[in-house]
Amino acid sequence: MKYLFLSLICLFAAHSPAIFAEDKLSPPDTEVIVHAHDGTELPLYQYPASGNDLVLWIGGNGWHDRSIQLARDFTKKGIEVWQIDFAEALMQPSSSNFLRNLDAQYVADIIDAVHQRTGKRVILFAQSYGAIPALRGATLWQQRKNHKGKLLGAILFSPDLVTGLPALGKDPEYLPITRATNVPMMIYQGGLHGSPKQFSRLVTELSSHNPNVFFNVLPGVTSVFYHDESSPETLALLKTLPEKMSDLSKLFESLPVSVSKTDYVQPDQVSSARPDIKLRSFAGNSLPPAIDLLDANGQRVKLLDYRGKITVVNFWASWCPPCVEEIPSLNRLREKMKGQPFELISINYADSPEKVHEFMHRVNVQFPVLIDPNGKVSQQWNVIGFPSTFIIGKDGKIQYGVNAAIQWDAPEVISALKALN
């Protein structure tokens, strides 16, 4: 594994007049149609440019202002861009499971089409779960006996290569492509996108058979193309990345061509069923990490203060719809547990106090909200998805875990909590 500091300052962006136009941007009118191996017509947005490199941007969740603006900025530096939203192209609902199960031959077909029509060198772009079909497609393309042209490498933004969300207390498992690919890659990892421990595990997996894995961790950044992401690091990277792409092209070009020796094939369908849609016995270390944070009113709260009580610790994020949806049932849970040795606290992930106050002005929250401004407490608890909730017994040990939004005032939940008395 390698660090690469190319003065590519950080990743992500928000709607800022310094970089983005005030009006909502639209994809270009220019489209290119690729006929896939199975006859499927794949439409891609095309941003033409005169240079020798082409960014093939793999997506599955629509194109927002910042991705459109970044593509336009690439063309000003002579870098052509083709963008495909596979959910839109195949008329399927957008989801992580859709991208996990996408036929990666489509990506390989598009790489072939780029070379046949333009003769340009390809650099793959993908974020989050889009990295799955990007790496699978690149690996399949490499292994085609008649492939032509040049695939320089992949630039991945906070890639998610897990098989699914694990039970609380367990580490995620990685898809086979994580170890199978030899595609050179640069990863821009949001420092607030998951825990450092999990990112270290990912890099170790990727590097096990691939000597050309480079990465740059971006402090204070959650997700590069999240519309509310406005960190200075994000804005700076999106402003400078187009002119720095030549450095990345030279880096990739300097690396020896290495095709994976793994005979990789498209896997069977992957299920994304969540394991903890109800209370389950906690599978990890039952001794909870410390909590010592300020709540939204500036009061200091320690987990030790609740020793001897049944304590529900709920980790959430303001940008997570299921987190918001379960708040009313958490309010009702607290009401129904009155008179019991019980406490409910929630921990907000990485929002500023101002943003938390603004949220609480809109949403009725009747329990203490602790602010975890840099996400460190959430990372110490190995929180991988939101919401994640831990139930601690009167003995101070974690008894149950839930990594999904549930009805917290359901009779079976109330009974299970009262049974901890």
CATH code (residue 286): 3.40.30.10
pLDDT for position 256? 85
Residue 100 lies in a domain: yes
Higher local confidence (pLDDT), 384 or 8: 384
Angle at alpha carbon of residue 371, lines to 382 and 385, rounded to 5°: 30
Same domain, residue pair 213 and 66: yes
What's this model's pTM, rounded to 2 decimal places?
0.87
At 36-68, the pLDDT tens digits run 999 999 999 999 999 999 999 999 888 989 999
Angle at alpha carbon of residue 254, lines to 252 and 255, rounded to 5°: 70
CA distances (Å), origin 154, targets 181, 191, 259, 414: 11, 20, 14, 49
Scanning the structure block, which residue is given the tokens 């595990």?
201
Same domain, residue pair 324 and 208: no
Cα–Cα dist 136/176, whole Å: 9
Cα–Cα dist 183/135, whole Å: 7
CA distances (Å), origin 338, targets 301, 334, 368, 391: 20, 7, 15, 17
Cα–Cα dist 358/375, whole Å: 19
Query: Which pLDDT band, with edges at 50, 70 and 90, does 4 fall under?
Result: very low
| Count helices and strands in the chain by DSSP H and E runs | 13, 17
Cα–Cα dist 228/336, whole Å: 36
At 84-93, the pLDDT tens digits run 999 999 999 9
Angle at alpha carbon of residue 314, lines to 308 and 320, rounded to 5°: 175
Residue 408 lies in a domain: yes
- Indicate the number of domains in the chain: 2
Count CB-CB contacts under 10 A for residue 286: 15
At 287-321, the pLDDT tens digits run 999 999 999 999 999 999 999 999 999 999 988 89
Same domain, residue pair 144 and 41: yes
Residue-number span of the structural domain to which 221 is assigned: 2-254
> Of 78-82, 150-154, 355-359, which range is least confident?
355-359
pLDDT for position 165? 84
> Of 21-30, 294-303, 370-379, which range is least confident?
21-30
CA dihedral 25, 29, 30, 36 (to 10 degrees): 90
Higher local confidence (pLDDT), 65 or 147: 65
| Strands 398-402, 280-281: pairing kind | antiparallel
Query: Which pLDDT band, with edges at 50, 70 and 90, does 164 fall under?
Result: confident
Query: Which pLDDT band, with edges at 50, 70 and 90, does 230 fall under?
Result: confident
Residue 291 lies in a domain: yes
Q: Does residue 136 register a pLDDT over 80?
A: yes
Instruction: Provide the CATH number for the domain around residue 143.
Output: 3.40.50.1820
| Strands 369-372, 2-3: pairing kind | unpaired
